[in-house]
């Protein structure tokens, strides 16, 4: 999966520091596209140059990543702005994980420029990953959205879906946790809403950070409970079918938790 970068490691503790010449500076445009170069399927980023202001993001091993704090029309020879979805379809490695994680932080910073309580300007906290309101003292921390990925099992078949919009390849039932729900209740509700199937024996599989949508994905397998006829939500899905192990068509890369769950079921590893 995208976060499996061993022996490399992500260090996400906040540091109040300034960049060095060897550090990476990530430039996002107003659409959230990242200034990158792609060489042999590996993403590269610009090294430090004089910019107005930067904020430290994280380190991968001994490589430090900063973000330009305020958007400018930055350009550099050989680099162009690409969306994280474009990068996902053409790259891999620790640099791609860095791009996903940086996008998550950029999205949070970009969406929180003004205080939600009083409308005042927000400033960077110098001790932790937070934003402070200079007028009312409100402090804002990054948000992570929990979402479930569900492998619904019916004997030797699994429920395969395709979204009506967006990602075009095979997927599993998925959805965000609502206020007041447990993760298990989210599994039950999302499967029922999208396919009309009642489930039981809900069991945790694995989780995955997914910066593209500011998510933490939590994977579960479960069994059908009673009726197995599918009543698909046509507003959410364009495809939902029971598929035998040998007939499962996997996604074109190994980045997602969804694909790994389909793969372990296909290969009888679970």
Mean pLDDT, to the nearest integer, of 211-226? Answer: 95
DSSP string, 54-121: EEEEEEETTEEEEEESS------TT-EEE-HHHHHHH--SHHHHHHHHHHHHHHHHHH-SB-TTT-PB
Using DSSP, state whether 250 is helix, strand or coil.
coil
pTM: predicted TM-score of the whole model, two decimal places: 0.91
At residue 214, does pLDDT exceed 80?
yes
Q: Is the bond preceding 212 in cis, omega lying within 30 degrees of 0?
A: no
Report pLDDT digits (tens) over 27-72: 999 999 999 999 888 899 999 877 768 999 999 999 999 999 876 6
Percentage above 90 pLDDT, the chain: 85
| Domains, the chain, ordered by start | 10-111 (3.90.79), 112-141 (no CATH), 145-266 (3.90.79.10)
Specify the DSSP element, H or E, that contains 20.
Answer: none
pLDDT of 72: 66
């Amino acid at each position: 999966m995208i976060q499996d970068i061993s022996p490399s490691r992500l260090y996400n503790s906040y540091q109040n520091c300034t960049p060095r010449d060897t550090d990476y500076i990530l430039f996002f445009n107003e659409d959230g596209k990242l200034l990158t170069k792609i060489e042999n399927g590996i993403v590269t980023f610009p090294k430090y140059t004089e910019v107005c202001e930067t904020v430290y993001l994280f380190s991968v091993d001994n490589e430090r990543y900063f973000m330009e704090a305020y958007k400018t029309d930055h350009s550099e020879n050989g680099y162009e702005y690409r969306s994280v979805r474009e990068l996902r379809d053409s790259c891999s490695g620790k640099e791609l994980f860095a791009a996903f994680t940086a996008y998550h932080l950029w999205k949070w910073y970009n969406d929180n420029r003004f205080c939600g309580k009083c409308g005042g300007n927000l400033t960077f906290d110098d001790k932790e990953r937070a934003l402070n309101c200079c007028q009312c003292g409100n402090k804002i921390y990054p948000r992570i959205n929990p979402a479930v990925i569900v492998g619904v099992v019916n004997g030797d078949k699994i429920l395969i879906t395709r979204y009506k919009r967006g990602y075009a390849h095979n997927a599993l039932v998925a959805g965000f946790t609502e206020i007041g729900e447990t993760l298990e209740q989210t599994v039950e509700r999302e499967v029922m809403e999208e396919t009309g199937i009642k489930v039981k024996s809900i069991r945790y599989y694995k989780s995955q950070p997914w910066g593209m949508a500011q998510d933490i994905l939590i994977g579960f397998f479960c069994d059908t409970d009673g009726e197995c006829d599918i009543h698909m939500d046509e507003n959410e899905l364009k495809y939902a079918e029971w598929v035998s192990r040998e007939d499962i068509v996997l996604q074109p890369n190994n980045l997602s938790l969804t694909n790994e769950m389909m793969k372990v079921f296909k290969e009888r590893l679970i």
